[in-house]
Amino acid sequence: MSMEAVTRSDEDGRYLQWTPVIAGAIGGAALSFIFLTFAVAVGLAVSSTSPSWRDTSAALAILSGIYLIIQAVVSFGFGGYIAGRLRRTSGASATEEVETRDGLHGLAAWALAVLIGAALATVIGASSLSRSSPARSTPNATAAEPLLSYELDRLFRSGRRPPNVDLTSERAEAGRILLTSSSHNGVSGDDRTYLIQQVGSATGLSPADSERRVDSAIANSKAAIARSRRSTVILAFSLAAATLLGAVAAWAAACAGGRHRDGAPLPEWMEHANSFERRRIVVHS
């Protein structure tokens, strides 16, 4: 048996080639990073650390989710095309077998790009939390501070408070109480009465003014939590849809890349798209 035959046999047995997979994954992840950075720069994002983000409209959140899906389709399609175009073929194989292998390489590039993105997001998120977590500087701080910081500011606002008064413990306790405003039963009567007493003691307001301020804080907190929950749902759905559609795009683009590599005709739907693009260019020229 000649060396060429052995080499060809080894290549045939190697169903998955990692070089085009890694190249496609890196290309797709890089393009996705560029698109997401651009979206953050223009304010088109489905979430933000800014407290004022929760006041944005639902239309902007939905538009941001659509952009997330579109960029995923384009980015993963780009990575899949690279994986399919760079894959080496050996021997005469059926067209269906070649397309299946190309598609699987695109799918592998998509999976690796997803893992790369998830790892980077985890590292960045952990780093941001370690720097900005209120628990590092204020042991009594709770999860309510990032979400309800403005409501807590308004709740304990006072123009007659002595200087250097530490309300960290009171804010943390009030934050935990306000978080229950989104529950099925809402803030209990005992917690509401306790908040009124705390606000009156910390601000010097009359019981009537303290009661109005507490009721306003409870209503505003419930609305803020609902808006934050809406954005979280949109983000989760958009990520899931973008990931799934990205897999489809990576498979189709890898098959197209394989056809370009082999000089084979494109699928019918791509031929229609190319002919439409050529007609558009002729009309504009």
Evaluate if residue 12 carries a pLDDT over 80: no
Sign of CA dihedral 108, 112, 117, 119: positive
Q: Can you give the length of the chain in residues? A: 285
Backbone angles phi, psi at 183, to 5 degrees: -75, 175
CB 25 within 8 A of CB 116: yes
Mean residue pLDDT of the chain comes to: 78
CA 260 – CA 86 distance, rounded (Å)? 10
Res 157 pLDDT > 80: yes
Contact 32, 75 (CB under 8 A): yes
pLDDT digits (tens, 9 = 90+) for 72-94: 999 999 999 999 999 987 655 66
The answer for residues whose C-beta is within 8 angstroms of residue 278's C-beta and 6 or more apart is none
- Confidence bin at 208 (pLDDT 50/70/90): very high
Average pLDDT over residues 97-103: 87
Q: Which amino acid is at 3?
A: M
Q: In this predicted structure, what is the pLDDT of residue 163? A: 65
How many Cβ atoms sit within 10 Å of the Cβ of residue 141? Answer: 18
Which candidate, 115, 110, 118, places its Cα nearest to that of 83?
Answer: 110
Q: pTM of the prediction? A: 0.70
Residue 44 has pLDDT above 80, yes or no: no
Confidence of residue 98 (pLDDT cuts 50, 70, 90): confident
With helix as H, strand as E and coil as C, how does 96-123 read?
A: HHHHHHHHHHHHHHHHHHHHHHHHHHHH
Region 227-238 average pLDDT: 83
Average pLDDT over residues 147-171: 81
Q: What is the pLDDT of residues 122-149, one digit of tens each?
A: 887 666 555 555 444 444 556 677 788 8
**Is the pLDDT assigned to residue 165 strictly greater than 70?**
yes
Please compute the mean of the pLDDT values over residues 190-212 and round it to a whole number: 90
pLDDT exceeds cutoff 90 at 215: yes
pLDDT of residue 1: 40
What is residue 248's predicted lDDT score, i.e. its pLDDT? Answer: 94
Is residue 52 predicted with pLDDT exceeding 60? no
- Give the Cβ contact number of residue 158 at 10 Å: 13
Are 252 and 77 within 8 A, CB to CB?
yes
Contacts of 67 (CB under 8 A, 6+ apart): 39, 44
Share of the chain above pLDDT 90, in %: 31
Q: Is 91 left (phi over 0), alpha (psi -120 to 50) or beta?
A: left
Query: Is a pLDDT exceeding 50 seen at residue 221?
Result: yes
> What residue type is assigned to position 134 of the chain?
P
